[in-house]
Amino acid sequence: MIADVVGYSRLSQVDEEGTRARFQSDLADVFEPSVAEQHGRLVKTMGDGLLVEFHSVVDALRCAVQIQELKIKRNAVAPPDRKLDFRIGVNLGDIIVEGDDIHGDGVNIADRVQALAEPGGIAISGTAYDHVKAKVPVGFASLGEQKVKSIAEPIRVYRVVLDPAAAGKTIGVRTNRHPWRVPAAAAAVVALLLVGTGLWWQPWQMAGEPSDSQNVVAADTRPSLVVLPFDNLSDDKQQGYLADGITEDVTTELARLPGLVVISRKAAFTYKDKTSKPTQVATELGVRYILEGSIRRAGGTMRINAQLIDATTSGHIWAERFDGTWSQVFELQDKMVGEIATALRLRLISGQQTPQIGGTNNTSAYESYLRGRELERREQPKDWVDAVKHYEQALALDPKFGNAAAALAWIYREAQWTESRSKVLGLTEDEARNKANAYFEQAAKHPSPTYYQILVARLNMQHKSDEAVAAAERAMALDASDPVSQEAMGQALIFNGRAADGLGYVESAMRVDPGWSRWRYYLAGMAYFSMDRFVEAAAALEKINPQSNEATYWDYWANYEGLKLLISTYGHLDRIADAATAMERIKTYDDGEYSGLRAASDLPFKHYADLERVLAGLRKAGVPELPDGFDHKSQDRLDGAAIKALLFDRQITGRNLRTGEPFWRVTSEDGATTARVGEWSDTGSSQIEGNMLCYYFPSRWRFCAAVLRRASGTFTQNNEYLLVNHWNSFEFSVVK
């Protein structure tokens, strides 16, 4: 992305110092925050312009739109003689990387495209348009093929239309007479980079094989760094949690520097207590820079030693010692991050060196939190009891400590879905759920990356994938080194109908945390499935190996969810015998049954066509859509329109056929729903998906149900209809 000030020379002749000051103000207040939020890197300023690189062309366009919208607001209140307008150009093309700089035709085309933009406007190349046309809520106007200086072939150019009414529309689309193709013989040496991106297009990738970590790393041109676990040099060896905690927090803060790729804590800690050469670490993790150091604490004093190594030369490019008291731990960390940024020639965004959102300034609370984090990350349920105690102590010392509240919400969230973990904590499923909800509400007051990761899952299940994507963006903005946030974004985008983008974020997770995990295979499988690429989907899902040991919460759900999606995939591939084998494995999970309604409950796709793809595969595989022998083709089954007419803006009453408990439900015209079954009650939301009623309650998650007429039912007995979900059936009548 290239931006340039309109009429800078003329403005400078009138007021050179003032014009430069206004440019610097826009750089600090508009460009740098927007670039950071959209995960870009400011490569350089060029007098009256600037060059930026991004991880995706979608992010590049979003950044450009955000900048111009902010400039409209700033110019609206600025005196006429103090307004600066920018033209912005975005391109997708080849670039050459030299150190921290980039150049080549890709940059040149971006510059030429920028010149075709209107003052205060955005222009993009045809290659960029092909990737973003349905992914950013703006319109486009074709400017046709343009012959530009120093570029041999004409290039397609589009003007971006910011008017919300134009979103999703393209005016004056013209056929591209020169489609770009990669000859098969050249495929191994051709790679596309965004002007500003580290994401390569890989036409040579073989079907069925998701991109591996090496491909993702090789494609990324941004400066990269890993923070190896700091050594604990304190006399008290039990204080290793302090060294680990400071390592993690420095990792998080460095990951917030625009343009720097920081490897996750999880990947870095595989080198704990090991002696590894810088070149080995760099090769295995795909990084150029290595930060290592030590912590020594004696009473109330502490010393942090740190050194930054360039792995290409094994030479030290920075080293420093930080002395202070334990009460100054946050200041020392901030100072270290600032000096590292300077050594790497990276810009600190204004306000960067402030306590992390969700953090604390209370050192006692911080220490309790670090103790809890060390225990939790041992991934042993027996350690959770002590971890909970430390987190609760941290929260008691600082009720605004959002990270501690989010950590508790996460633990209890896992416990509510995993019986072995709830037993360790001495809780029933409902008790774990209630605690998870309570701590989640507390964490919401002081959001942290973990809070947003939980929020993404909740919003997905509420059928709000647009909001889930926004929440994932906030999580990544707070800690770009956390692969869980990248994975959350991937899943949200897949549910949002943007499977190709979702797959890209799975690969992004591998950049900061190299290697495939079961959960990533599941997400990749779901992305391929959603693109009708069933062979690739099966290849990814089969690698999960649901018969292997389930070491973590994520392993359990990857095994289970992957197995369920694999059955539908086999159905589409006519591998019916394999589907039957997978159905046998399902019996070891949950209630041992599977149905189309269960699949619909688990997969809150924004577009029904994506859910129908799953249901169609299950039908081909012989999986019943309705449980308990109900016929999904029955003439008594209501379609979506009939369900809405019957239940929305209505009150119904009846009973649970399995338990006999009384059942009552009120749904407003817009889907707001209050329900009661026996002693349980909650308020949530409902919507129609195909021929199903799908509804979400915070205390019970998401369900999808069929509605059938009951020929023998009567109004007086409240049994004229049946509402059937995977787990329960309810007879009811409409009473109001």
Q: Report which DSSP code applies to 201.
A: B
Q: How confident is the model at residue 97 (pLDDT cuts 50, 70, 90)?
A: low
Among 155-159, 513-517, 560-564, the minimum mean pLDDT is found in 513-517
Beta strands in 147-288 (DSSP E): 155-161, 170-171, 193-194, 224-227, 231-232, 261-262
185: Cα separation from own chain's centroid: 36
More confident residue, 552 or 405: 405
Q: Which range scores top for mean pLDDT: 81-85, 125-129, 310-314, 528-532?
A: 528-532
Q: Which range scores top for mean pLDDT: 158-167, 263-272, 396-405?
A: 396-405
Task: Note the pLDDT of residue 131.
Answer: 82
- Write down the residue that tokens 């020929």 correspond to: 711
Query: How large is the average pLDDT for residues 393-404?
Result: 95
188-193: list long-range contacts, CB under 8 Å, 24+ apart. Answer: 191/219, 192/92, 192/93, 192/94, 192/127, 193/93, 193/94, 193/95, 193/106, 193/219, 193/221
Q: What residues does each domain of the chain span?
A: 2-171, 224-350, 516-623, 640-734
Query: How large is the average pLDDT for residues 692-716?
Result: 92
Q: How confident is the model at residue 172 (pLDDT cuts 50, 70, 90)?
A: low
Task: Note the pLDDT of residue 217.
Answer: 52
Write the CB contacts of 734 (distance below 8 Å, at least 6 apart in sequence): 646, 647, 650, 651, 652, 720, 721
Q: Is the pLDDT of residue 449 over 50?
A: yes
Q: In this structure, are strands 662-667 and 672-677 parallel, antiparallel, or unpaired?
A: antiparallel
Task: Note the pLDDT of residue 696.
Answer: 93
Q: Residue 228's closest CA among 253, 201, 265, 194? A: 265
Task: Note the pLDDT of residue 615.
Answer: 96
Q: Is the pLDDT of residue 105 over 50?
A: yes
Q: Is the pLDDT of residue 703 over 90?
A: yes
Instruction: Return the CATH number of the domain spanning residue range 224-350.
Output: 3.40.50.10610
Q: Is the pLDDT of residue 353 over 80?
A: no
- d(Cα 546, Cα 557) in Å, to the nearest integer? 10
Task: Note the pLDDT of residue 188.
Answer: 25
Work out the number of other CB atoms within 10 angstroms of the CB of residue 727: 16
Task: Note the pLDDT of residue 634.
Answer: 85
Q: Is the pLDDT of residue 698 over 90?
A: no
More confident residue, 16 or 445: 445
- d(Cα 67, Cα 77) in Å, to the nearest integer? 16
Task: Note the pLDDT of residue 49.
Answer: 86
- d(Cα 420, Cα 97) in Å, to the nearest integer? 51
Write the CB contacts of 109 (distance below 8 Å, at least 6 apart in sequence): 91, 93, 125, 148, 151, 155, 195
Task: Note the pLDDT of residue 104.
Answer: 82
Query: How large is the average pLDDT for residues 386-414?
Result: 94
Beta strands in 618-671 (DSSP E): 650-656, 662-667
What would the pLDDT profile of 472-483 be if each residue is shown by its tens digit?
988 988 888 889
- Write down the residue that tokens 């081909």 correspond to: 620
Q: How confident is the model at residue 394 (pLDDT cuts 50, 70, 90)?
A: very high
Q: What is the mean pLDDT of the chain?
A: 85
Among 190-204, 295-309, 563-577, the minimum mean pLDDT is found in 190-204
Task: Note the pLDDT of residue 477.
Answer: 82
What would the pLDDT profile of 229-244 be if each residue is shown by its tens digit?
999 998 888 788 889 9
What would the pLDDT profile of 678-690 be if each residue is shown by its tens digit?
999 999 999 999 9
What would the pLDDT profile of 120-164 be if each residue is shown by its tens digit?
999 999 989 988 877 788 888 888 888 887 787 888 999 998 876
Task: Note the pLDDT of residue 164.
Answer: 64
Task: Note the pLDDT of residue 171.
Answer: 66
Q: Is the pLDDT of residue 519 over 80?
A: yes
Q: Which fold has domain 640-734?
A: Lipocalin (2.40.128)
- d(Cα 564, Cα 155) in Å, to the nearest integer? 46
Percentage of residues of the chain with pLDDT beyond 70: 89
Q: Is 323 strand, coil or helix?
A: strand
Task: Note the pLDDT of residue 274.
Answer: 87
Query: How large is the average pLDDT for residues 315-344?
Result: 88
More confident residue, 410 or 10: 410
Task: Note the pLDDT of residue 347.
Answer: 54
Task: Note the pLDDT of residue 179.
Answer: 32
Task: Note the pLDDT of residue 628.
Answer: 79
Q: Residue 217's closest CA among 500, 507, 415, 17? A: 507
Q: Is the pLDDT of residue 352 over 50?
A: no
What would the pLDDT profile of 175-224 be if each residue is shown by its tens digit?
333 333 333 222 222 223 333 333 333 322 333 445 555 555 554 557 88
Query: How large is the average pLDDT for residues 702-722?
Result: 94
Contact, 564 vs 524, CB < 8 A? no
What would the pLDDT profile of 527-561 be if each residue is shown by its tens digit?
999 999 999 999 999 999 755 555 567 787 888 89
- d(Cα 120, Cα 26) in Å, to the nearest integer? 13
More confident residue, 352 or 490: 490
Q: Is the pLDDT of residue 393 over 80?
A: yes
Query: How large is the average pLDDT for residues 101-112?
Result: 86
Percentage of residues of the chain with pLDDT beyond 90: 48
What would the pLDDT profile of 32-59 be if each residue is shown by its tens digit?
888 888 878 888 887 788 999 886 788 8
> Is CATH 3.30.70.1230 the right assignment for the domain spanning 2-171?
yes
Please list the residues that pair with 682 across neighbouring strands: 675
Write the CB contacts of 87 (distance below 8 Å, at least 6 apart in sequence): 3, 4, 6, 114, 115, 117, 118, 119, 120, 121, 122, 123
Q: How confident is the model at residue 253 (pLDDT cuts 50, 70, 90)?
A: confident
Q: Is the pLDDT of residue 27 over 80?
A: yes
Q: Is the pLDDT of residue 720 over 80?
A: yes
Task: Note the pLDDT of residue 178.
Answer: 34
- Could you check whether 2-171 and 640-734 share the same CATH topology? no
- d(Cα 733, Cα 15) in Å, to the nearest integer? 77
Q: Is the pLDDT of residue 288 over 80?
A: yes
Task: Note the pLDDT of residue 180.
Answer: 30
